[in-house]
Structure 1
Amino acid sequence: MSLDQPAARQSDHPVAPQFLQRWSPRSFTDRALSEAEVMSLLEAARWAPSASNHQPWRFVWARRGEAVFEALHACLTGNNLTWAGKGAALVVVASKDTVTNREGAEVANRTAGFDTGAAWMSLALQAQTMGLFAHAMGGFDREKLAAAVRLPEGHTLHCVVAVGEQGPAEALPEDLAAREKPSSRKPVAEIAMHGRF
């Protein structure tokens, strides 16, 4: 089995190897995850930075073989339906939209999505340290997924993450196998400006 590795990725400036090695493959092996392994992923997400320590992120998870895994998988759309069912676990990432202010009123949490993105990255990097990969997907039926996880009012769905051990590209349909390699990124000069846009 030949697994594509992100060795060809090159940074423009020095960074820790974990940032170049993290990517989102679609092919997974049959390796199962224990509940303890899933808890390690969620524990890492728990410690993400959070504005005013509100911690708005919320997760619903299931392991392959569980009925709820099948229910979550059925909410995916497009090519995600083809490959994500091989993941060892699916994790739904959502956030609580409001916070309780000092006066005791529920008000909009402007940084909920930002903070939840940090929690997702913590989960992805923890997966990497465990020899796993995490692939976040935005392709899902929002109404169907909200019903499947019984999403409370005042919460927003962000993505579904497939987690597992990387499998061979050859296990994917031909069109997806051709895309099964780490992608590059825009140069820093294109995304960061000194002082102003």
Structure 2
Amino acid sequence: MENPAETVYPIHELLARRWSPRAFAERPVEPELLRSLFEAARWAPSSSNEQPWRFVVATKHDQPAYDRLLACLLEGNRKWAFRAPVLILSVACMNFNDNAKPNRHAFHDTGMAVENLLLQAAALGLIGHPMAGFDIERARGELKIPSGYEPVAMIAVGYSGDLNVLPDYLQQREVKPRARKPLVEMTYAGLWGVPLPLPRS
């Protein structure tokens, strides 16, 4: 299933195609494709090239590991994410390696690595759905995340599946047109609140 963005201005086709569906096929993701996802994440930019991102990854080839990640999801996400063949937890290292000072960009940079991963997934014909709805403390304990690292987001990855596997209320959400705030609400010309003129071409 496709649900491309209806953009006001032209953007790259890959950016328009990337979205966060919930209908996954239970087909496994090939190991070479999985490696490409993390290679893409590896090349994300970061403050001082710190690369604060880490990933806890589980596939259904290791069911106990997969079940640990799945159990960290909140019930609303478990209802559909259990079909995804790959679950990933992104984690941020919160301090710089060389001086142990707080890295205030750690979440930002980890998010950029995840976006690289999601775009690479779209380029490979996969879908990815990042989730904030998980139990952070459970993830920290059950996945043995050390001090100084923070769980950021869970991500389901796999192949697109049949919409009919979802409950009716989620099917309706899947087919709704995608929407974003208008640019005028998020872009300012030199000072906060001053609209940036972006005329249509």
- Alignment gaps of 5+ in structure 2: 193-201
Q: Give me the identity figure in percent.
A: 37
The amino acid that maps onto 1:35 is P
- Structure number with greater CO (CA < 8 Å, separation at least 6) is 1
Residue identity in the other structure for 1:23:
W
| 1:196 paired to 2:191 | yes
- Written as runs of structure 1 = structure 2, the 5 A alignment for 1:54-73 is 54-66=50-62, 67-73=64-70
Which of 137, 143, 156 does residue 143 from structure 1 map onto?
137
- The 8 Å contact of residues 137 and 161 in structure 1, kept in 2 or not, is answered as yes
Deviation for aligned residue 1:162? 0.1
TM-score (norm 2): 0.90
Q: Matches of 1:62 and 1:185 in 2, distance apart?
A: 32
Look up the equivalent residue of 1:145 and give its one-letter code. Answer: A
How far residue 65 of structure 1 moved from its aligned partner, in angstroms, is 4.0
Specify the SS of the correspondent of 1:179: helix
For 1:12, the equivalent position in structure 2 comes to: 8
Which residue number in structure 1 is paired with residue 72 of structure 2?
Answer: 75
AA matched with 2:189: H
Match of 1:50 in 2: 46
State the shift of 1:188 in Å.
1.1
CA-to-partner distance for each residue in 1:73-102, whole Å, 9 max, x for gaps? 01100310101110010010011000134x
Contact 2:50–2:97 (CA<8 Å) still a contact in 1? no
Q: Secondary structure at the match of 1:90?
A: strand
Residue 37 of structure 2 contacts residue 121 of structure 2 at CA under 8 Å; is this kept in 1?
yes
State the TM-score, normalizing by the size of structure 1: 0.92
For 2:35, which of 32, 39, 43 is the aligned residue? 39
Partner of 2:181: 186
Q: Distance in 2 between matches of 1:190 and 1:20?
A: 20
| Unaligned ranges ≥5, structure 1 | none
